[in-house]
Structure 1
Amino acid sequence: MDYKTFPPGIVLASIIKCYWTLRGPRKLLPQKQRIVPDGCMEMIFHLGDSYVQYLKDGSKMIQPKAFVFGQITSPLDIEPTGATNIFAVRFHPDGFTPLAGISIKNMDNRAVPLTELFENDGREVGQAISTAETIPEKIGIIEAFFLSRLSIPETIDRTVKNTVQEIINLKGQGSVEDLSVKMSVNRRQLERKFAVVVGLSPKQLLKIIRLQTALKLLQRSDSNSLTVIAHESEYYDQAHFIKDFKEFTGLSPKQFYSDNLKLTAFFSGID
């Protein structure tokens, strides 16, 4: 698989983390790819063959050609149906809300078609992206679309944005109580704001960012010692680390390390 990332323009850097592309040939024996929560919603354009998405009830669905995936709160399995050619937008945890037309809480763990979110405008931007020949052209098209919808920059909630940045800076350490004190906002008010803007609770985002820290260590470390990874990720103990790891990946760290780490890195906030 050929995975590349591209930075957003300066004006949209506060809501977009990056653009990314993924290309790969059709495989005779396609493999499931496990996606784990990273706190970032994404807009996906399947320019090649679509992916199958496996649902919690054991059934499966073909993903739309153009969609936004809401916050992922549990492990998600997908599988290519043919050749992969994806162009995507990865938003910051609070980045999609200024563009959204529906409550993002209703988007959790869903691939929501652009036509459901933006009606005919969603169809038109999907078509324009699919016919653009170069990545700079695609980025120009999608940024023009976003800027046309981001007419009121003040819709960005500064309390949430600052809190999200603090969580990232702390690599998921600390507590919701500590955050509410530092941001001078009541805990319940902070939780309500997060539900509306991020689609996750502050506690969920703390745990997800902490897990992503551990995944980076797994990806980059020559050692697969769980004790070392748990310590460097500042978990209370190894048992706590394994519990959180299973909650968001559905696997033990050893299983995930051997079977899923490389594939998952394509579809997460690991960078």
Structure 2
Amino acid sequence: MKYFSIAPSEKLAGLVRCFWVLEMENFEGVPYIHRTMADGCIEMVFHYQGVFDELLNNNQQVPSFSSGISGPSQEFRRFSINNHFGIFGVYLYPFALPELFDIPALALTNEMVDTGTILGAAGKELEEKMVLAPDNKTRVAIISQYLESKLTQRKTRNNGISETIRQIINTDGRSNVQRLADDSFLSIRQFQRNFKEHAGFSPKLFTRIIRFQTALRKYPEKEFLSLTDIAYDCGYYDQSHFIHDFKEFSGHHPGVYFSGNAEGTKWITA
């Protein structure tokens, strides 16, 4: 298993948090289960080797897309593959959807849509280039050129909301939502409506998801921190609140997740 991230160009840094690559050689044919967690940001995903099946709650398996966009999500999902695989991802702020593609983040909340459906012929062409590229350095160049070309058409409506979303992410979900609304000089109703369009969720739910994502990043420190330490470090009022949110957004009890034996965590230590 190999995982690494790549910083975007300066031009894209305001919209792209990072590029990432996940690869695995599976010679034994044993199913690898990957679990996606709730996330306030969005991802463009390109499977350049192998395609996963999604595991549904009724124990059915359905083919997932070979490339697509995953919107802001408050849910966890499970995927399986028996073969070698390689995935290239683009991790974007949620307001990149309305600013680059003129699509409200709310339209893709809890959705995964294939590239051709959402971006049309240009999306199918992009998928073909990314999948057939000889290496990940070339993929970075291809997707960077594509996204930088979209910057010329960038729509910056409600830019203050975008900065508010960025602030919540940069403060690990510790920002005071009421204060942010006051600073926006909008009524609370208008603030929440604009926020939801650009983030996909209400400010309160978005903040909870970002706080959960902060807790996930404590995984490398699991041997040195108790669950209580993690809860308080991430701004939870108490451990029961932490456990409730963690189970809702990941499907795991945090004790199981931070044990190092939970499903879908193998890539973290790659």
TM-score scaled by length of structure 2? 0.89
2:82 and 2:161 mapped to 1: Cα distance? Answer: 38
SS in 1 for 2:106: helix
Residue 266 of structure 2 corresponds to which residue in structure 1? 263
CA distance in 1, matches of 2:154, 2:99: 8
Mapped partners of 1:108, 1:18: distance in 2: 21
Say if 2:7 is the partner of 1:7: yes
Query: Residue deviations 1:167-226, cap 9 Å, x none?
Result: 123221244212212333322222211221221221122111111222222332423522
Q: How does 1:34-73 map to 2 (within 5 A)?
A: 34-56=35-57, 58-73=59-74
Counterpart position of 1:269? none
1:151 matched to 2:158: no
Query: For 1:173-184, what aligned pairs fall within 5 Å after superposition?
Result: 173-184=174-185
3-state secondary structure, aligned to 1:155: coil
* Deviation sequence 1:58-116 (CA, Å, 0-9, x none): 53321111111111211111122411111111102322322335443232232211111
SS at match of 2:22: strand
Kindly report which structure 2 residues correspond to 1:120-269, keeping only aligned pairs within 5 A, or say none: 120-155=121-156, 157-258=158-259, 259-260=262-263, 262-263=265-266, 265=268
Q: Percent sequence identity over matched residues?
A: 29
* 1:145 to partner: Cα distance: 1.7
Q: How far did residue 261 of structure 1 move?
A: 6.9
**Aligned partners of 2:238 and 2:56: how far apart in 1?**
32
Of 244-253 and 179-188, deviating more is: 179-188
Amino acid paired to 1:105:
L
Change (3 A) 1:263 1:30: same
The answer to whether the 8 Å contact 1:35/1:264 transfers is no
Task: Assess if the C-alpha contact under 8 Å between 1:19 and 1:87 holds in 2.
Answer: yes
Q: Does the CA contact (< 8 Å) of 2:71 and 2:112 recur in 1?
A: yes
Give every structure 1 segment of 4 or more consecutive aligned residues whose post-TM-superposition deviation is greater than 6 Å: none
Q: CA deviation at 1:119?
A: 1.2
Instruction: Name the structure 1 match of 2:108.
Output: 107
Identify which range, 192-201 or 202-211, moves more after superposition.
Answer: 192-201
Alignment correspondent of 2:17: 17
Q: Does 1:91 align with 2:64?
A: no
How far, CA to CA, are the matches of 1:135 and 1:225 in structure 2?
38
Secondary structure in structure 2 of the residue aligned to 1:32: strand
Q: Output the aligned Cα RMSD.
A: 2.1
Give deviations 1:123-167, integer Å, cap 9, x for gaps.
111111122223232122112222333333343532122111221
Cα distance in 2 for residues equivalent to 1:118 and 1:169: 29
| Secondary structure class of the residue paired with 2:134 | coil
Separation of aligned partners in 2, 1:103 and 1:264: 31
Give the Cα separation in 2 of the matches to 1:120 and 1:152: 18
Contact 1:219–1:262, Cα closer than 8 Å, also in 2: no
